[in-house]
Amino acid sequence: MPNLIKKALKLVFTDDDDAGLASVLKKKNRPLKKFTERELIQLESEIGATIFGEKPAHVTRREFFNLDKDTWIWYEEIVDKDGKKQELTTRYEVQPKGILKVQPNYRYSYLEGDELQNFVLAVKEYYERVSRDLYKRDPQTGYRL
């Protein structure tokens, strides 16, 4: 199982991502510099929410974003059949053993099978869209588009 996680993460992130990102951040031409980290996460979240297609009618809000190096967040607000608002926040923690899914009421499980594959695809799509649409960077090279 751990080898599968490593392979999946290598599909998403290259070994030199940290070096490439550092060189991009050192440049003085940073149009997004005026935004706080929180504002950038919000902008990334808006892009992340579009990865999963159109929201169903009962979904009022959806977010998907990368909080830090090892943490991903999925948040969804829905209106149930009684008209009450329901919220669900799922945290995904990237660990050496795998991707730990953490939900309310102490529900913890490691992703497996299709759920793991879908998560990896979503992360890859997120990275590509955010790189291109927000940061105007080629996701493969990190160079300005």
pTM attached to this predicted model: 0.75
Residue 64 clears pLDDT 60, i.e. is over it: yes
Tokens of 36: 């706080």
Predicted local confidence at residue 7, as pLDDT: 54
Predicted local confidence at residue 6, as pLDDT: 56
Q: CA 99 to CA 31: how far, in whole Å?
A: 33
Q: How confident is the model at residue 137 (pLDDT cuts 50, 70, 90)?
A: very high
Residues 6 or more apart in contact with residue 52 via CB below 8 angstroms: 62, 64, 122
Predicted local confidence at residue 19, as pLDDT: 47
Q: How confident is the model at residue 2 (pLDDT cuts 50, 70, 90)?
A: low
Q: How confident is the model at residue 17 (pLDDT cuts 50, 70, 90)?
A: very low
